[in-house]
């Protein structure tokens, strides 16, 4: 098992070629339903379906309570507190117009329940300077579900067409146009520069920015408006599209058949659709994240209290919305209209 994980680490390390250290957690999926602890906290039935991972005690953020209080959070982070990560969900649209949710799977070597996501926190590359960990109350969104302009897609919000589970090249801003033999990976790299003051502005995004030039990976400088370097938060989400790869089932006009739960088809043969987004609610306990970032520990961090992926899988929550999201559906949950 250890060897297999090492192999996986080598594969994943391609993502961050110069990183000296990073934290990486394979987190199971807590729930998939129309809840949005960030944008519509406390509302049962948000506009579109999300997957939510991580938190279990964040009723204050509108989130659901853990059904299995004895279990930790849905992640190896024991100091998770109310930390939650969420993304939208993909559906397949068949020729007859009906929708089917695309299953997810974890990265190779992990067993996170229902796929979930792999979450990375990376301090500065090459040991240059330090990052300031997120503060209590910090939240952010990268991307915008209503965006349909390629030029407005944040620069590190991409798709990877997986030829095999280790494929890490050829990232694109819109959906792969051809079937992907091992599924579609969604890569969500959040901005890494903060204004140093604002925890959560009304738009949940103007307090953070990408480097003024270059990238986080190339150690690009932060802009004067957002001078404080924060850890690079990065989600990898793998949608297992393999059971939908028969092009005889794809639209007759040759466009791709996948649609985000918020109605964005990103096909570009019909409408360009670039609404990919990721949401983050910081909720680590105490200064655990700052300590881990300062120590530059790599994967196995003695500074952190951790649990196994299997323990994280024990975490479960009630489905508050209680609607069918998995059958062949006549419309997307919530009646979300699909781009034409």
Q: Which residues bind ligand NAG (CB under 6 A)?
A: 94, 96, 98, 174, 268, 272, 328
Q: Nearer Cβ to ligand NAG, position 94 or 212? A: 94
Distance CA 10, CA 8 (A): 5
Q: Nearest CA to 219 among 131, 160, 137?
A: 131
DSSP for 270-337 reads: SS-----EEEEE----TTHHHHHHHHT--SS-TTS-B--HHHHHT--B--SS----SS-BSS-GGGPP
- Under a CB-based contact definition with an 8 Å cutoff, are residues 126 and 255 in contact? no
As beta bridge partners, residue 143 has: 277
For residues 340, 157, 83, 79, the Cα torsion angle rounded to the nearest 10 degrees is: 150
Residue listed under structure tokens 């609404």: 275
Q: Nearer Cβ to ligand NAG, position 268 or 311? A: 268
Distance CA 336, CA 89 (A): 13
Q: How far is the CB of 90 from ligand NAG (least distance, A)?
A: 16
Q: How far is the CB of 328 from ligand NAG (least distance, A)?
A: 5
Q: How far is the CB of 104 from ligand NAG (least distance, A)?
A: 20
Q: Nearer Cβ to ligand NAG, position 249 or 319? A: 249
Q: How far is the CB of 319 from ligand NAG (least distance, A)?
A: 24
Q: How far is the CB of 94 from ligand NAG (least distance, A)?
A: 4
């Amino acid at each position: 098992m250890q060897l297999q994980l090492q192999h996986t680490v080598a594969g994943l390390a391609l993502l961050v070629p110069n990183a000296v250290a990073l934290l990486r957690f394979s987190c199971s999926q807590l729930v998939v339903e129309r809840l949005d602890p960030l944008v519509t906290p406390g509302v049962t039935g948000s506009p579109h379906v999300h997957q939510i991972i991580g938190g279990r005690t964040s009723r204050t953020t509108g989130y659901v309570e853990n059904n299995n209080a004895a279990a930790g959070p849905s992640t190896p982070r024991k100091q998770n507190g109310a930390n939650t990560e969420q993304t939208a969900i993909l559906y397949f649209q068949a020729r007859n117009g009906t929708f089917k949710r695309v299953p997810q799977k974890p990265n190779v070597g992990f067993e996170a329940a229902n796929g979930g996501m792999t979450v990375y926190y990376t301090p500065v590359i090459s040991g240059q300077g330090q990052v300031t960990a997120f503060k209590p109350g910090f939240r952010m969104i990268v991307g915008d579900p209503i965006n349909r302009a390629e030029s407005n897609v944040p620069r590190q919000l991409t798709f990877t067409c997986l030829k095999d589970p280790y494929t890490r090249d050829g990232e694109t801003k819109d959906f792969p146009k051809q079937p992907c033999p091992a599924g579609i990976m969604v890569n969500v790299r959040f901005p890494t520069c903060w204004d140093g003051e604002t925890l959560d502005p009304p738009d949940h995004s103007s307090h953070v920015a990408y480097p003024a030039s270059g990238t986080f990976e190339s150690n690009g400088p932060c802009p004067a408006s957002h001078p404080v370097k924060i850890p690079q938060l990065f989600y990898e989400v793998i949608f297992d599209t393999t059971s939908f790869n028969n092009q005889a089932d794809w639209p007759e006009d040759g466009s791709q058949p996948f649609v985000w739960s918020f109605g964005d088809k990103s096909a570009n043969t019909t409408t360009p659709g670039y609404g990919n987004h990721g949401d983050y609610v910081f909720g680590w306990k105490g200064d655990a994240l700052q300590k881990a970032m300062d120590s530059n520990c790599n994967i196995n961090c003695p500074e952190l209290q951790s649990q196994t992926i299997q323990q994280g899988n024990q975490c479960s929550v009630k489905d508050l919305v209680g609607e069918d999201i998995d059958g062949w559906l006549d419309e997307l949950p919530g009646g979300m209209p699909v781009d034409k």
